Amino acid sequence: MARFASEAELKAFLGKLDADYAEYAPALWHEGIKTPRQLANFTEPHYLACDVRRGHIDDIKARAGTTDTGEQADLKHILKQLLDAMEDNMTLARLVLRGQLRPVSSSASTKRQEEYRLQAIEYYYGSHADKSKIRCMVTGEEVDLKAITAGHIYRQGWPTGLLKVMGCRLYEPRNIILMQNQLEKRFDNWEWTIVPEGPDAFRIHVLSPHLLYPKGREQYVAGHDGKGTKWRDIDGTLLQLPMTARPARRLCGLHAMLAIQEAETKGWFDETHEAPKMSEASWQSPTFDHLLMDKYLNDAKEANMHMSDPDTHCL
């Protein structure tokens, strides 16, 4: 506390320093002691006049002088948050600049894939869901279970350490989208992505112009010629969420940010095909500090300027 509002608060403060010190509160309060700083600066003769034992004086003065007031604690907390956010930004920037967050295919054994898929089905559809037919969260088509894959948002080939920053674990269902098998490879390659627009809205964006505006034959999600869902059909639609469970917004936001950046590098956007817009909703969540992604590109540029010797910046 920055200032004791009553004798009781002073007594509580002294009691936290040592239970024996609480009895000094009435006399010290009578002498005008209202803050920890005053306790630290109070002279020995004044303490003795308040019947404080000589052996306790130095300890009270020393510990009161090093005890954070509420304002000091708040400032330290804010400073730590800022430093952590800066470090998280630099960590992410270094990973991207070194090519460690690149479009890569997931790799998992058939047994592990089955395990992830079933966990995700229970997470999104409930434990009593009919697993013989599953609705793809992207196309909305109801297909056989074998046609559905557990598509990881944060790739299995990416550094797992960054997930601590993101507040998630690699194999938890929030890092999985249940999608038709044909969608996963193009999701891994950042040809389409999911942009969070709020707690319950996740919009699908097809980034590759070759899927949206093919030269010649129309492109279908499942590869059918003349039937099925076209890539143009899902562009701009919302991810289909059957119940209350949601994917992790911060992970979808990370995937979208990297995918959009890659698409810009490849020149996929123009006047007729604009880059999706990302807002604060892409990062906000109860357990995630949005400063991690704030002004990302500027952080990445600054990080690049300080990476003349890669060996000195190992993560």
Q: At what angle do helices 7-17 and 54-66 cross, to 10 degrees?
A: 100
**What is the C-alpha radius of gyration for the chain, rounded to an integer number of angstroms?**
29
pLDDT tens-place string over residues 44-54: 889 999 999 98
Whether the CB-CB separation of 156 and 107 falls below 8 Å is answered with yes
Helix (H) or strand (E) holding 63: helix 54-66
pTM value?
0.61
Secondary structure (H, E, C), 268-282: CCCCCCCCCCCCHHH
How far is Cα 174 from Cα 152, in angstroms, rounded to an integer? 9
User: Does residue 151 sit in helix, strand or coil?
Assistant: strand
Under-50 pLDDT residues of the chain: 1, 69-71, 74-75, 78-79, 82-83, 86, 97, 109, 286-290, 292-298, 300-301, 303-315
pLDDT tens-place string over residues 275-306: 998 876 665 554 444 454 444 444 544 544 44
How far is Cα 161 from Cα 172, in angstroms, rounded to an integer? 15
Whether the CB-CB separation of 315 and 94 falls below 8 Å is answered with yes
**CB within 8 Å of 225: residues ≥ 6 apart:** 217
Question: Tokens in use for 21?
Answer: 């010190």
pLDDT tens-place string over residues 224-262: 655 778 999 999 999 999 899 999 988 898 899 889 988
Strands 192-196 and 202-206: antiparallel
**CB within 8 Å of 274: residues ≥ 6 apart:** none
Whether the CB-CB separation of 145 and 131 falls below 8 Å is answered with yes
